[in-house]
Amino acid sequence: MLLPVGILAVMKYYKAGDVDLKVGLAIAAGIFVTAFFGAKLGLSLGNVWVTRGFGILLLLVSLKLIFS
């Protein structure tokens, strides 16, 4: 469901002149590569480490929001 809606949104923004295709393709390529390696790393670490890492990330983000 997300992909068709996203494609329609990109088409609208592109027609309005708000999309830089070179930058968009570079970002998409980066997301594709890092998602692959991130999934591989997440599977190799196991649930406990991924859960702890996510918990630490949430704690750091919440502290940043509190003190900014």
pLDDT at residue 6, as a whole number: 86
> 29-65 burial, b if ≥16 CB within 10 A, otherwise e?
eeeeeeeeeeeeeeeeeeeeeeeeeeeeeeeeeeeee
pLDDT at residue 1, as a whole number: 67
pLDDT at residue 2, as a whole number: 75
pTM, to two decimals: 0.58
- Helix axis angle, 47-67 relative to 21-45, nearest 10°? 130
Q: Which of 21, 3, 1, 2 is nearest to 13 (CA)?
A: 21
Per-domain residue ranges of the chain: 2-67
Q: Per residue of the chain (68 residues), what is the pLDDT tens digit?
A: 678 888 899 899 999 999 898 998 999 999 999 999 999 998 999 899 999 999 999 999 999 999 99
